[in-house]
Amino acid sequence: MSTQFFSKLSQNYIELLKDNEYYDVTIEVGEDPNVKIFRAHMNILCYRSPYLRRNLASNKKNNDNFLVHIKLPNISPEIFQCIL
């Protein structure tokens, strides 16, 4: 039973990565002309990455509920996709 649970949980996380509706962070990665914007979920990023947790702590949503936008020009989109 636990194998099925973890399999389903993994599938849910993959679905979150593809979610175009409920994300609350955008991450702009790379430099022109190779720039890609990733959509993500702040809670997951904070718990999975100490670096992104620190970055997000200084870029929290304001009271208007705008999305948090992070720029990471020093990493390629291909590498960041693997990290994400």
Q: 22 in helix, strand or coil?
A: coil
**In contact, 75 and 35? CB cutoff 8 Å:** no
Query: Which one of 3.40.309.10, 3.90.226.10, 3.30.710.10, 1.10.10.10 gives the CATH number of domain 22-83?
Result: 3.30.710.10
Neighbour count for residue 57 (Cβ, 10 Å): 9
Per-residue pLDDT of the chain (84 residues; tens, 9 = 90+): 678 888 998 898 888 878 888 888 999 999 999 999 999 999 889 998 999 999 888 876 554 567 889 999 999 999 999 988
- Predicted model pTM: 0.76
All structural domains of the chain with their residue ranges:
22-83
C-alpha count within 13 angstroms, C-beta hemisphere, residue 54: 2
CA distance 29 to 73: 5
Instruction: For residue 11, report the phi and psi dihedrals to the nearest 5 degrees.
Output: -65, -40
